[in-house]
Structure 1
Amino acid sequence: MKKRIKKQILYGLLYLIIFGTIGAGIYFKVRQKPGVTPPILAPKDIEIIWAKSAQQTIGECDLVAKIKNPNPYHFSRQINYQFLLFEQQGSSSNLVNQINGSTWLLPNQEKYIIANEVPCTTNLSRVIFKNDPPLWQAYTEYHEPQIQIFQKEFQKLSQGPPYAQASAIIVNKNEFDLTNIKINIVLEDANDNLIAARQTQIDNLVANQETKINYQWLTEIKENVYRLTVEPDLPITNNFLK
Structure 2
Amino acid sequence: MTSFQRGIKRVAIILVYIAIISVIATALYYLFRAKPTCTDGKRNQGEEKIDCGGPCAKCEEIPKIENIQILQKALIPAGPGKYDVLVKIKNPNALFGVAGLDYSLNFLNQEGIIVEKRDGSSFILPAQTKYVLEFNIALGEKPESFVFNVRSFRWQKFSESEEPNVVVYGREVSLPGSIGEPTQLKAKIQNRSNYDFKKVTTKVVFKDVEGMPVAVNQTDSNDVRANEEREVIFNWNTVLPKNIDLQSIEIEPEVNAFGSENFMKKYGSPEQYQSYDVDDAK
Q: Is the TM value for this pair above 0.5?
A: yes
User: Residue 193 of structure 1: CA displacement?
Assistant: 2.3
Residue 230 of structure 1 aligns with which residue?
251
1:44/1:139 CA distance change after superposition, 3 Å? same
Separation in 2 of the partners of 1:193 and 1:143?
29
User: Residue 60 of structure 1: CA displacement?
Assistant: 0.3
User: Residue 157 of structure 1: CA displacement?
Assistant: 2.0
Separation in 1 of the partners of 2:91 and 2:244?
28
Q: Which runs of 5+ in 2 are unaligned?
A: 1-59, 266-282
The superposition leaves residues 78-100 of structure 1 with CA deviations (integer Å, 9 ceiling, x where unpaired) of 01101121223xxx343211111
What is the correspondence of 1:91-102 to structure 2 with a 5 Å cutoff?
92-102=111-121
Match of 2:157 among 129, 134, 138: 138
SS in 2 for 1:57: coil
1:200/1:160 CA distance change after superposition, 3 Å? farther
1:67 has 2:86 as partner:
no
User: Residue 71 of structure 1: CA displacement?
Assistant: 1.0
1:156/1:45 CA distance change after superposition, 3 Å? same
Separation in 2 of the partners of 1:39 and 1:62?
42
How many matched pairs?
202
Residue 32 of structure 1 aligns with which residue?
none
What is the correspondence of 1:108-119 to structure 2 with a 5 Å cutoff?
108-119=127-138
Residue 171 of structure 1 aligns with which residue?
190
1:87 has 2:106 as partner:
no
TM-score, length-scaled by structure 2: 0.66
The superposition leaves residues 130-165 of structure 1 with CA deviations (integer Å, 9 ceiling, x where unpaired) of 101321111113422212111233331224654101
TM-score, length-scaled by structure 1: 0.76
Match of 1:57 among 70, 73, 79: 79
Separation in 2 of the partners of 1:40 and 1:167?
46
Asked if 2 retains the 8 angstrom alpha-carbon contact of 1:172 and 1:208, the reply is yes
Match of 1:187 among 187, 206, 217: 206
1:172/1:39 CA distance change after superposition, 3 Å? farther
Residue 264 of structure 2 aligns with which residue?
241
1:86/1:79 CA distance change after superposition, 3 Å? same
1:99/1:41 CA distance change after superposition, 3 Å? same
Higher strand share: 1
User: Residue 178 of structure 1: CA displacement?
Assistant: 2.2
Separation in 2 of the partners of 1:138 and 1:196?
35
Match of 2:234 among 215, 219, 223: 215
Separation in 1 of the partners of 2:194 and 2:142?
50
Separation in 2 of the partners of 1:162 and 1:215?
13
Separation in 2 of the partners of 1:181 and 1:160?
32
4+ long deviations beyond 6 Å: none
Separation in 1 of the partners of 2:236 and 2:145?
25
SS in 2 for 1:135: strand
Q: Could you tell me the percent identity over the aligned residues?
A: 24
1:206/1:40 CA distance change after superposition, 3 Å? farther
User: Residue 107 of structure 1: CA displacement?
Assistant: 0.9
Question: Higher Cα Rg: structure 1 or 2?
Answer: 2
1:199 has 2:221 as partner:
no
